Amino acid sequence: MITLNNIKKGRGTMKKKKRIGRGNASGTGTYSGRGLKGQKSRAGSGKGKLKRLGMKQSLLKIPKVRGFKSLYSKNQVVNLDTINENFKDNDLINPEVLFAKKLITKKNQAVKILGNGSLNLKGLKFENVKMSESVKKSLEK
């Protein structure tokens, strides 16, 4: 019966580590496989300490996320045409009402009203909403 304590590794799977620098008779003495002088021949120039060779090539192969993403979210846009269609005279317009009528997708994101179309309604009240210059002019009229 095979159990964990009597499983043996296959023949030839384990190879003994070569003992380097044990005299010239061993075949790996004198320079111990490091060649002559230089940064790589010295002690302590192992992993991480020695400059990484070929790092640029591996960096160039990695796919990068292109472009720029702003930290500030964009305004949600509502045009005057849609306000004419969805509101009546003397209505209050704020992000909560616009969200309820499904004219915007998020309550807590900034809303800006753009002057695409003309405003036919009177007495509208705007709260917590940005406006373009053309909309401000049309409201003054």
The domains of the chain, with CATH numbers, are 76-140 (3.100.10.10)
Q: What confidence tier does 54 reach under pLDDT thresholds 50, 70, 90?
A: confident
pTM for this structure?
A: 0.52
For the cut 70, the answer to whether the pLDDT of residue 50 exceeds it is: no
Mean pLDDT across 59-86: 89
> Phi-psi category of 133—alpha, beta or left, where left has phi over 0 and alpha has psi -120 to 50?
alpha
Task: Give the residue with greater pLDDT, 66 vs 50.
Answer: 66
pLDDT of residue 3: 86
Sign of CA dihedral 128, 134, 135, 136: positive
Task: Give the residue with greater pLDDT, 60 vs 44.
Answer: 60
